[in-house]
Amino acid sequence: MTHEPKSIAEAPDSAAIFAAALSLWLECKKRTSRKGALNLSECYNGMDQFMREVMRIANYFEQWSCKRVNFSELSEVWPYFLEDKFGEACLTVVDPSALAEFDDADCLQIAHKLQLPVIY
């Protein structure tokens, strides 16, 4: 008889996903708003695809965090923390034109930039 270990992972929080997506969206728009800057619509064949990538990253990071962040050690309210800091931290790791390449390694780098209590 096999016993499955109980998962210590948290369930993904839709408010956190929204907050991370909003933060990333705003930071991308801020960094590309000056004249002659990167055109996000051209990079992603339209702004709808750009929005899909932003949502994918927010969802991906939240799912990754639920498995690897010790939330009991956080003193911040998770969705508010992501809204304030995620976009900027994310764009120090991934260029706005390369969001489609976002993966687990990027999540770990962002977690370190955010000084999150990561479970190894």
Spatial contact of 95 and 58, defined as CB atoms under 8 Å apart: no
Give, in degrees to the nearest 5, the angle at Cα 33 between 19 and 42.
90
Per-residue confidence (pLDDT) for residue 10, from 0 to 100: 76
Spatial contact of 111 and 118, defined as CB atoms under 8 Å apart: yes
Per-residue confidence (pLDDT) for residue 1, from 0 to 100: 40
Per-residue confidence (pLDDT) for residue 5, from 0 to 100: 35
Query: What are the extents of the domains in the chain?
Result: 50-120
Per-residue confidence (pLDDT) for residue 2, from 0 to 100: 40
Per-residue confidence (pLDDT) for residue 9, from 0 to 100: 63
Question: What does the alpha-carbon distance between residue 109 and residue 112 come to, in Å, rounded to a whole number?
Answer: 5
| Spans in the chain with pLDDT lower than 50 | 1-7
pLDDT per residue as tens digits for the range 19-36: 999 999 999 999 888 777
